[in-house]
């Protein structure tokens, strides 16, 4: 366990001595825990204490602690008979279910490490993950076995069709030789190379998460928790192990309930859930709902994306925002989000959890001053062992700890940007590669969404730069709106123009029922639709071109901005135009009307209606300066 107490040298810091002392104190998160145990041993001890207590419940059935233990032991013995031993990787492929948890526990009891495969993944992706992990066995259900039919090196065990054989195994606890620094699981995450990469998590790192969670949220045997995350999302383990090792029960929601905030709220209440984790996008919709004054739910945990909204003062439970990459065993920082009627920034991501250190560094790996943006590096007990079969990537991302005297200490380079707030909380600012460069301007999308999210009609938003067929990039805002969104386009544009320069105002506002998310709970940028007439906000009354001049100008502007229709009163620059496109527009106007306008005129008359009046005025002025004979020749 890393004990960070020393101050760094002046050469290693861009902060003064007083700030160094403060940063050292903020990273003093040392807390003891039983690092030599494994989660399945803690579970077995709980079985001895409360064998008949409810462990897991779902629509398909219920299992007590003793029943779960016995079934997992049978799976473990069968796996050992099939050759599973310490650190052997075993795939699991399930929807959220009792069998999923039984299999995870059985693999750990056998001494192996589980590798979750999402049954919704394309077969090609599953095949790559299976080949990369070299898992000789996959535990799944019969209807998913076909996903692995093209992998001759791996055998498939089906918990439903093979249970008749598995159930013949003994039901008492199993012995294995797994050590605390052995692997507990491997989670595959997206890779920059286009292929997923496996993150290796040890028992010791998992236990730090478990013990921190139990202490931080005062988990007891009467707690009723949820399992809502995708099986291949690392938060699934967070939803399971802190509770099954402490006597609480886990409740699995049906899929139609899980995806509907209203249904989910009612399900939480009817099942008397006391603590639940939800990905950020879902949590934001949940806190926007009406809740009874008193509710069994006492804690709503969220994470996986940037939280954009504060809870209301009447929310009857605590909202806890969490941050952490898979490489840091799910959670690295955590903090309660209190109501804020006049927020000047987004909600924080809290403080480092137990036995975890956070460093905000510049490009020279020097600590940045409090309140200054730096790249976020993580150290401590939760760090992954590295990437499976990727030693070069491991060395690149898990660097030697520049501030520790322990030669084995490491820091994980997250690629995220953050600031330390004056009270020691951390403000997440986004990815270091999220920054948009548009026509020479550097743009932070979060600065735009902060303005959008202040509008009462906007539940949540996202801003990206889309490349159009012309090769031009333009800002597009994706919005999830409240029920009453009357006149929202005008108010959004007015607010944006009030707070931001023109180049930071999105040219299109796409309305979605919800932002698409990946299996890991993050916004799926690839699934965001391109703006078109069916999904974008339009002016309440679109004034179409009426005069011949307006029709011609509209026909010039539409292909320039890749639009099929445009109102004569919409601002060229608010639709995605800029000075470079403005120059093209002026050139084509000259070719069409034989009228030379300046960019200054365009800035002063940016709508089709006003620009047409400028063109017509220039034509009239030219005619008035001509003799009758010249005018006749010109109009001929």
Q: What is the pLDDT of residue 623?
A: 85
For residue 14, pLDDT beyond 70: no
The model's pLDDT over 465-500, given as tens digits with 9 standing for 90+, comes to: 887 765 567 899 999 998 766 678 888 988 887 777
**What rounded mean pLDDT belongs to the chain?**
89
| Spatial distance between the Cα atoms of 133 and 118, rounded to a whole number of angstroms | 15
What pairing do the DSSP bridges indicate for beta strands 155-158 and 249-252?
unpaired
pLDDT interval class at 1 (50, 70, 90): very low
For residue 88, pLDDT beyond 80: yes
The model's pLDDT over 353-368, given as tens digits with 9 standing for 90+, comes to: 999 999 999 999 999 9
pLDDT interval class at 440 (50, 70, 90): very low
DSSP state of 540: S
pLDDT interval class at 564 (50, 70, 90): confident
Q: What is the pLDDT of residue 8?
A: 46
pLDDT interval class at 503 (50, 70, 90): confident
| Spatial distance between the Cα atoms of 383 and 391, rounded to a whole number of angstroms | 15
Look-up of token digits 């527009």: 585
Q: Residue 624 is encoded by which pair of tokens?
A: 């008035």
Average pLDDT over residues 119-145: 91
Average pLDDT over residues 321-349: 92
Q: Which residues contact 202 (CB under 8 A, 6 or more apart)?
A: 180, 181, 182, 183, 184, 384, 385
27 vs 541, higher pLDDT: 27
Which of 307, 264, 245 is closest to 48 using CA atoms?
Answer: 245
Q: Domains in the chain, please, with CATH?
A: 434-537 (3.30.300.30), 541-636 (1.10.1200.10)
Average pLDDT over residues 16-23: 87
The enclosing H or E element of 299 equals strand 299-303
Q: What is the pLDDT of residue 253?
A: 96
Which of 229, 217, 226, 235 is closest to 270 using CA atoms?
Answer: 226
Q: What are phi and psi of 328, to 5 degrees?
A: -120, 25
CB 162 within 8 A of CB 102: no
Q: Residue 368 is encoded by which pair of tokens?
A: 């940045």
Q: Which residues contact 221 (CB under 8 A, 6 or more apart)?
A: 50, 53, 246, 247, 248
What pairing do the DSSP bridges indicate for beta strands 386-387 and 137-140?
unpaired
Q: What are phi and psi of 406, to 5 degrees?
A: -80, 115
Look-up of token digits 């901005």: 561
For residue 560, pLDDT beyond 50: yes
Q: What is the pLDDT of residue 10?
A: 39
pLDDT interval class at 579 (50, 70, 90): low
Instruction: Return the SS3 of 371.
Output: coil
For residue 534, pLDDT beyond 60: yes
Number of H-type helices and E-type strands within the chain: 19, 26
Instruction: Return the SS3 of 300.
Output: strand
Average pLDDT over residues 379-396: 97
Q: How far is CA 362 from CA 21, 231, 500, in A?
A: 19, 36, 27
User: In the chain, what percentage of residues exceed pLDDT 70?
Assistant: 94
| Spatial distance between the Cα atoms of 321 and 414, rounded to a whole number of angstroms | 18
The model's pLDDT over 236-295, given as tens digits with 9 standing for 90+, comes to: 999 999 999 999 999 999 987 887 888 899 999 999 999 999 998 889 989 999 999 999
Q: What is the pLDDT of residue 437?
A: 57
Q: How far is CA 466 from CA 192, 204, 475, 514, in A?
A: 19, 43, 6, 19
Q: What is the pLDDT of residue 9?
A: 44
Q: How far is CA 105 from CA 113, 205, 456, in A?
A: 10, 17, 46
27 vs 150, higher pLDDT: 27
pLDDT interval class at 563 (50, 70, 90): confident
Q: Residue 338 is encoded by which pair of tokens?
A: 């209190």
Look-up of token digits 């490490």: 113
**Environment class of 18 (CB within 10 Å of its CB; exposed 0-12, middle 13-18, buried 19+):** exposed
pLDDT interval class at 192 (50, 70, 90): low
CB 370 within 8 A of CB 470: no
Can you give the pTM of this predicted structure? 0.74
Least confident range of 159-168, 194-203, 428-437, 594-603: 428-437
Q: What is the pLDDT of residue 444?
A: 74
Least confident range of 5-14, 134-143, 297-306, 525-534: 5-14
For residue 442, pLDDT beyond 70: no
Q: What is the pLDDT of residue 3?
A: 38
| Spatial distance between the Cα atoms of 91 and 132, rounded to a whole number of angstroms | 11
Q: What is the pLDDT of residue 193?
A: 57
CB 331 within 8 A of CB 351: no
For residue 146, pLDDT beyond 70: yes
For residue 572, pLDDT beyond 90: no
């Amino acid at each position: 366990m890393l004990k960070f107490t020393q101050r760094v040298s002046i050469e290693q810091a861009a902060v003064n001595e007083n700030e160094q002392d403060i940063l050292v104190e903020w990273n003093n998160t040392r807390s003891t825990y039983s690092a030599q145990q494994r989660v399945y041993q803690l579970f077995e001890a709980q079985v001895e204490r409360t064998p008949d207590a409810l462990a897991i419940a779902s629509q398909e059935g219920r299992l007590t602690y003793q029943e779960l233990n016995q079934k997992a032991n049978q799976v473990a013995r069968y796996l050992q008979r099939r050759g599973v031993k310490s650190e052997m990787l075993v795939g699991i492929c399930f929807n959220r279910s009792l069998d999923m948890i039984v299999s995870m526990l059985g693999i750990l009891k056998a001494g192996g490490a589980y590798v979750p495969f999402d049954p919704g993944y394309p077969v090609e992706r599953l095949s790559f993950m299976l080949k990369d992990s070299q898992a000789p066995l996959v535990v799944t259900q019969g209807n998913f076995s076909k996903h692995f039919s093209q992998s001759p090196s791996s055998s498939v065990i089906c918990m439903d069709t093979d249970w008749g054989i598995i159930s013949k195994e003994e039901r008492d606890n199993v012995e294995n030789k797994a050590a605390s620094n052995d692997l507990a699981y491997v989670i595959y995450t997206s890779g920059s190379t286009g292929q997923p990469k496996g993150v290796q998590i040890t028992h010791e790192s998992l236990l730090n998460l478990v013990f921190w969670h139990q202490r931080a949220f005062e988990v007891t045997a009467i707690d009723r928790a949820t399992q809502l995350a995708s099986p291949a999302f690392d938060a699934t383990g967070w939803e399971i192990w802190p509770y099954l090792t402490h006597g609480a029960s886990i409740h699995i929601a049906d899929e139609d309930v899980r995806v509907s905030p209203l249904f989910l709220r009612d399900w939480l209440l009817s099942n008397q859930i006391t603590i639940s984790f939800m990905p950020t996008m879902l949590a934001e919709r949940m806190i926007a709902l009406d809740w009874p004054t008193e509710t069994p739910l006492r804690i709503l945990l969220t994470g996986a994306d940037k939280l954009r909204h504060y809870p209301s003062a009447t929310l009857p439970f605590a909202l806890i925002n969490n941050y952490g990459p898979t490489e840091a065993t799910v959670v690295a920082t955590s903090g309660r989000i209190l109501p804020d009627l006049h927020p000047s920034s987004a909600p924080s991501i809290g403080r480092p959890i137990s036995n975890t250190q956070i460093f905000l560094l510049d490009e020279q790996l020097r600590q940045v001053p409090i309140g200054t943006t730096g790249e976020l590096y993580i150290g401590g007990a939760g760090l992954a062992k590295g990437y499976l079969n990727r030693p070069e990537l491991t060395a690149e991302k898990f660097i030697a700890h520049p501030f520790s005297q322990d030669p084995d200490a490491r820091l994980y380079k997250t690629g995220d940007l953050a600031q330390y707030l004056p009270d020691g909380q951390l403000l997440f600012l986004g990815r270091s590669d999220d920054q948009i460069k548009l026509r020479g301007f550097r743009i932070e999308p979060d600065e735009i969404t902060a303005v959008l999210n202040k509008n009462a009609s906007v539940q949540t938003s996202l801003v990206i730069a889309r490349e159009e067929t012309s090769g031009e990039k333009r800002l597009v805002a994706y919005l999830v709106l409240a029920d009453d969104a009357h006149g929202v386009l005008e108010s959004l544009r007015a607010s944006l123009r009030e707070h931001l320069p023109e180049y930071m105002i999105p040219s299109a506002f796409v309305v979605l029922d919800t932002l698409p998310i990946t299996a890991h709970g993050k916004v799926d940028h690839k699934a965001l639709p391109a703006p078109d007439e069916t999904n974008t906000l339009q002016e309440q009354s679109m004034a179409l071109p009426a005069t011949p001049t307006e029709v011609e100008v509209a026909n010039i502007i539409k292909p320039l901005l890749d639009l099929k229709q445009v109102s004569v009163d919409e601002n060229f620059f608010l639709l995605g135009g800029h000075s470079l496109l403005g120059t093209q527009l002026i050139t084509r106007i000259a070719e069409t009307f034989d009228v030379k306008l300046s960019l200054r005129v365009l800035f002063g008359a940016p709508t089709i209606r006003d620009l047409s009046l400028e063109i017509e005025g220039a034509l009239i002025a030219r005619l008035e300066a001509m003799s009758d004979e010249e005018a006749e020749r010109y109009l001929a």
